[in-house]
Amino acid sequence: MRKVFGIMIPAMMIAFIVAVIPFFNSCQELSEDVMRVHILANSDSAADQSLKLSVRDRVLEHCSAYFDDCEDKNEAMAVTEDHLDEIEKVAEKEIRDQGFDYPVKAEVGQAYFNTRYYDEFTMPAGWYDSLRLTIGEGGGKNWWCVMYPALCVGAATDDKMKEDLSDGEYRVVTSDKVDFRFKIVEYWEDLCNLFR
Q: What is the mean pLDDT of each run of 10 residues along the chain (196 residues)?
A: 59 60 74 89 94 92 84 90 95 96 95 80 86 95 84 55 65 62 65 69
**Which of 98, 86, 79 is CA-nearest to residue 136?**
98
pLDDT at 30: 78
pLDDT at 188: 64
CA dist 29 to 9, 46, 84, Å? Answer: 30, 37, 26
pLDDT at 69: 83
pLDDT at 169: 64
- C-alpha–C-alpha distance, residues 63 and 91, integer Å: 11
User: CA gyration radius for the chain?
Assistant: 19
**Could you tell me the pTM of the whole model?**
0.73
Neighbour tally for 167: CB within 10 Å: 9
Q: Strand 126-135 relative to strand 35-40: parallel, antiparallel, unpaired?
A: parallel
pLDDT at 15: 59
Neighbour tally for 96: CB within 10 Å: 11
- C-alpha–C-alpha distance, residues 17 and 120, integer Å: 27
pLDDT at 135: 97
**Which of 83, 71, 68, 169 is CA-nearest to residue 126?**
169
- C-alpha–C-alpha distance, residues 190 and 196, integer Å: 10
pLDDT at 148: 83
